């Protein structure tokens, strides 16, 4: 036996694009799908699928809290500040310093696009998703399958179309230039699509890439007639499809032409950026103790999600810096990063080393301090030590607040010489409400489409058909607009910053202070508090050694049984108001009876062995049947049975595809294919499913109440709030 090796997978962003990112990381360590059955997770895969169905864009769903708590050590800034504040840490140079983070200062930079494009947001809204009626853009070019011959045209958008609508909205907010570039490109592609349609061809994505690269009419015509990617239009209602695509093309052209009227010198967002950079430079000069300190204080990271926007900013600032005396400190000291290619002769690595040579770990030969203004996309939002800088400007609105937290982490790091760091974010002040409402409508449609197809991708990062999730995201955005830095202090949104270790540390502290008082509390003890936006009753109960949490909303509304959500509802501080509203007090017994029956039903579900077996893909069953019918002649029976057990167990889609590749391939004989299947099973490490033991039957009175809490909304001035 070899020596055991313990592996720890470390990541600042285990979830970036989709929840499946985290699932596939966990699969390296947790091979058995039912490994967490004793925590109420009968199938890890099905729990991820449920989270995606409920809200395919929420990257921090409460549904996954039990899995994350069981497998992950999660350390947020808030946790480190609270529990490791007096510890020392060794820096890169060998020195030991106290663990300290700078204080984040959040502020808004407001601008008003209506000044130069009055009514344009209304045009975009009508094109993408108006409050009433259908969008002007049908997106027919991206979903020609909605126009079949002889059938009723489908109205539902695909997930791809929802993504395009969302992307257009975000580019519109990012910069007029980025929006104009995108719509111009879309107009060109619509023209190509119409050209193909006139020749009886449906142009799909792959062929569109070929055509877009061609710059000669003859080459385009040849590709249309000879490309293997060309699809005949015979099965499509060409007149109706063509009319829809032409109408979309005209809408996009009008939007593009309007956006192009805004020249950089008239763009209020770019003008506001210049004013903010001038303020930063002036403050740095006033506060600095020497030239080196001034250089640190005037350093600025400007982030945008889009390279088109970075291009526009760089072109505009290059001229503004030369003309504006207030920006003299940035002359010759600006660089940009977008993607992996060099920009302006400066590579990504050179830009980072030149911008923050002290903190980025630049080698001795490359420690020249060359840049004080760095424009970048999110390629620098992760894994970079840039704490030599103290200013970040987010040029785009924070549709995903967690992205701002990632960016913020570049400068709010241990070892920073700044006592304060400044996080400035652009907001379309007068149009903020309308933009958020529009985004909510787009996301809601996209969530419906994504949930209906159930694919293992998250079309966008947050969203929600689950309106609660979007509500929380919107609250975070509005807090940032007000200059509330709590999201940076906590190191994430409310659900993202949540850790089981945080709750356990709080419990340990409470037991150290008040062990006798806590242990002396009688079972069924109740209390009440005012916090958040939930109203109802929280119950903590046990059946045997299992603990159950339930939140029963007052009046109508579904039970909340997810551990993470329940804990977030009742987590509080010592100064949280203690209340016991009369109506919640009077309905506590009825609410407990409902909670007891709900817990009883959950337990009873696990007493039936049939409920403890997850779904296995049909393909796996077919492969197992083939293997049983054609076992290799020299196969060891124990090995064969182990392979069969592993095949007839749930497995990720990647492993399914690897099995399918072998199963559909040609082999000299059935026995040879069976041997290849067995080799593949062992190569990819499939493991058999081990069903958890069924629970024993119980009676409802075996569900025992430990404690309960009345939860009142934290709304000032409620008459029913009584001590």
Domains belonging to the chain, first-starting first, are 96-110+269-430+480-490 (3.40.50.300), 117-261 (no CATH), 615-684 (no CATH)
For residue 215, the model assigns a pLDDT of 52
Res 465: pLDDT: 37
Q: Is the pLDDT of residue 185 over 50?
A: yes
Of 280-294, 479-493, 588-602, the poorest mean pLDDT is in 479-493
∠ at Cα 558 (159, 542), nearest 5°?
120
Task: Give the mean model confidence (pLDDT) for residues 383-389.
Answer: 88
Q: What is the predicted pLDDT for the residue at 579?
A: 93
Look at 454 and 495; give whichever has higher pLDDT: 495
Contact of 317 with 311, CB cutoff 8 Å? no
- Rounded Cα distance, 619 and 407, in Å: 43
Cβ burial of 51 (10 Å; 0-12, 13-18, 19+) is buried
- What distance in Å separates the CA atoms of residue 458 and residue 382, rounded to the nearest whole number? 20
State the DSSP H helix or E strand holding residue 707, giving kind and residue range, or none if neither: strand 704-712
Minimum mean pLDDT among 65-79, 162-176, 301-315: which range?
65-79
CA 390 to centroid of chain Cα atoms: 26
Residue 459: is its pLDDT beyond 50?
A: no
Residue 467 pLDDT more than 50? no
Terminal-to-terminal C-alpha distance of the chain:
65
Round to whole Å and give the CA distance between 101 and 87.
13
Select the highest-mean-pLDDT range: 2-11, 76-85, 416-425, 614-623. Answer: 416-425
**Per-residue DSSP letters for 190-238?**
HHHHHHHHHTTEE--HHHHHHHHH---HHHHHHHHHH-TT-EE-TTB-H
Residues in CB range of 499: below 8 A, 6 or more apart: 69, 74, 75, 76, 79
pLDDT given at position 114: 86
Report the mean per-residue pLDDT for the chain: 84
C-alpha 306/C-alpha 376 separation (Å) is: 9
Query: What is the C-alpha separation between 52 and 46, in angstroms, rounded?
Result: 10
What pLDDT sits at residue 696?
94
With 90 as the cut, is the pLDDT of residue 591 above it?
yes
**Rounded CA gap, 289 and 287, in Å?**
7
Mean local confidence (pLDDT), 293-321: 95
For the segment 559-578, the average pLDDT, to the nearest whole number, is 88
Report the pLDDT averaged over residues 570-591.
91
Q: How confident is the model at residue 385 (pLDDT cuts 50, 70, 90)?
A: confident
Per the model's pLDDT, the better-predicted residue between 58 and 164 turns out to be 164
> 54 or 148: whose pLDDT is higher?
148
Is residue 205's pLDDT more than 90?
A: no
CA geometry: angle at 463 spanning 458 and 469, to 5°?
Answer: 120
pLDDT for position 705: 96
Residue 82 CB coordination number (10 Å): 13
Given pLDDT bands bounded at 50, 70 and 90, which one contains residue 537?
very high
Report long-range pairs for 271-274 (Cβ below 8 Å, ≥24 apart). 271/111, 272/109, 272/110, 272/111, 272/426, 273/109, 273/302, 273/313, 273/317, 273/393, 273/395, 273/426, 274/317, 274/320, 274/324, 274/327
Query: Which of these, 528, 483, 442, lies nearest to 173 by C-alpha position?
Result: 442
For 138-147, 252-261, 317-326, 344-353, which range has the lowest pLDDT when averaged over its residues? 138-147
Residue 193 clears pLDDT 70, i.e. is over it? yes
Confidence grade of residue 466 (pLDDT, cut at 50, 70, 90): very low
Closest-CA residue to 462 (of 82, 56, 83, 80): 56
Structure confidence at residue 33 (pLDDT) = 79
Within 10 angstroms of residue 422's Cβ, the number of other Cβ atoms is 22
Q: Which of 223-237, 430-444, 641-655 has the lowest mean pLDDT?
A: 223-237
For a pLDDT cut of 70, what percent of the chain falls above it?
87
Indicate the SS3 state at residue 527.
Answer: strand
Residues ≥6 apart with Cβ < 8 Å to 492: 60, 76, 402, 405
Q: Specify the 3-state DSSP secondary structure of 348.
A: helix
- The DSSP line for 22-46 is HHHHHHTT---TTTTGGGT-S-HHH
pTM score of the predicted model: 0.74
Exposed/middle/buried for 148, CB within 10 Å: 0-12, 13-18, 19+?
A: middle
Query: Could you tell me the pLDDT band of residue 314, with boundaries at 50, 70 and 90?
Result: very high
Q: Which of 6-15, 122-131, 462-471, 636-645 has the lowest mean pLDDT?
A: 462-471
pLDDT at 580 over 80: yes
pLDDT tens column, 90-110: 876 777 878 888 899 999 999
Higher pLDDT, 310 or 456: 310
């Amino acid at each position: 036996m070899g020596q055991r090796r313990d592996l720890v997978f470390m990541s600042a962003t285990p979830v970036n694009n989709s929840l499946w990112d985290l699932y596939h990381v966990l699969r390296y360590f947790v091979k058995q799908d039912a490994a967490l059955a004793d925590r109420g997770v009968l199938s890890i895969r099905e729990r991820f699928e449920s989270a995606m169905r409920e809200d395919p864009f929420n990257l921090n769903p409460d549904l996954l809290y039990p899995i994350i708590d069981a497998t992950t050590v999660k350390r947020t800034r808030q946790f480190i500040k609270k529990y490791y504040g007096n510890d020392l840490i060794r820096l890169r140079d060998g020195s030991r310093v106290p663990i300290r983070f700078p204080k984040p200062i959040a502020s808004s930079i407001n601008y008003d696009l209506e000044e130069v494009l009055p009514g344009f947001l209304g045009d975009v809204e009508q094109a993408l998703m108006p409050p009433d009626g259908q969008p002007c853009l049908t997106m027919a070019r991206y979903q020609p399958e909605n126009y079949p011959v002889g059938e009723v045209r489908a109205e539902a958008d695909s997930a791809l179309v929802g993504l395009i609508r969302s992307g257009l909205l975000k580019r519109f907010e990012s910069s007029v230039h980025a929006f104009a570039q995108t719509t111009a490109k879309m107009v060109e592609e619509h023209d190509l699509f119409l050209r193909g349609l006139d020749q009886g061809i449906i142009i799909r994505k792959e062929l569109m890439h070929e055509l877009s690269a061609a710059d000669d009419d003859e080459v385009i015509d040849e590709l249309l007639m000879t490309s293997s990617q060309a699809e005949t239009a015979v099965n499509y209602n060409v007149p109706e499809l063509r009319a829809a695509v032409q109408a979309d093309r005209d809408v996009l052209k009008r939007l593009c032409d309007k956006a192009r009227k805004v020249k950089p010198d008239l763009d209020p967002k770019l003008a506001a950026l210049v004013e903010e950079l001038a303020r930063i430079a002036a403050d740095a000069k006033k506060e600095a103790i020497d030239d080196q300190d001034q250089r640190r204080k005037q350093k600025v990271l400007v982030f945008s999600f889009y390279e088109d926007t970075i291009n526009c900013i760089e072109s505009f600032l290059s001229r503004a810096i030369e003309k504006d005396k207030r920006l003299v400190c940035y002359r010759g000291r600006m660089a940009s990063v977008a993607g992996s290619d060099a920009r302006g002769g400066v590579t990504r690595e050179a830009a980072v080393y030149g911008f923050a040579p002290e903190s980025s770990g630049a080698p001795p030969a490359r420690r020249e301090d060359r840049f004080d203004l760095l424009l970048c996309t999110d390629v620098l939002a992760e894994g970079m030590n840039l704490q030599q800088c103290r200013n970040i400007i987010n040029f785009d609105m924070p549709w995903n607040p967690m992205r701002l937290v990632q960016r913020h982490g570049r400068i709010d790091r241990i070892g920073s010489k700044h006592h304060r760091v400044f996080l400035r974010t652009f907001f379309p002040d007068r149009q903020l409400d309308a933009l958020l409402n529009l985004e909510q409508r787009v996301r809601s449609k996209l969530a419906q489409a994504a949930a209906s197809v159930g694919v293992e991708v998250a079309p966008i990062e947050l969203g929600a058909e689950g309106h609660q999730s979007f509500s929380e995201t919107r609250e975070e955005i509005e807090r940032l607009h007000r200059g509330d830095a709590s999201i940076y202090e906590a190191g994430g949104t409310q659900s993202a910053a949540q850790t089981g270790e945080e709750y356990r540390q709080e419990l340990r502290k409470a037991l150290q202070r008040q062990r006798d008082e806590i242990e002396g509390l009688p079972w069924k003890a109740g209390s009440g508090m005012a916090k958040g936006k939930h109203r109802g009753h929280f119950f903590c109960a046990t059946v045997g050694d299992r603990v159950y949490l339930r939140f029963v909303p007052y009046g109508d509304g579904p039970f909340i049984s997810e551990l993470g959500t329940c804990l977030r509802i009742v987590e509080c501080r010592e100064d949280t108001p203690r209340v016991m509203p009369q109506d919640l007090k009077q309905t506590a017994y009825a609410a407990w009876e409902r909670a007891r029956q709900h817990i009883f039903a959950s337990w009873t579900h696990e007493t039936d062995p049939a409920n403890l077996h997850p779904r296995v893909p049909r393909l796996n069953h077919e492969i197992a049947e083939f293997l049983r019918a054609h076992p290799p002649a020299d196969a060891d029976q124990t090995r064969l049975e182990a392979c069969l057990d592993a095949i007839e167990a749930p497995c990720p889609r990647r492993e399914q595809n690897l099995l399918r590749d072998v199963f559909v391939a040609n082999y000299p004989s059935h026995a040879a294919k069976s041997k290849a299947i067995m080799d593949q099973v062992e190569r990819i490490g499939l493991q058999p499913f081990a069903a958890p033991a069924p629970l024993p039957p119980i009676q409802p009175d075996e569900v025992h109440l430990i404690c309960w809490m009345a939860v009142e909304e934290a709304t000032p001035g409620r008459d029913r709030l009584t001590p």
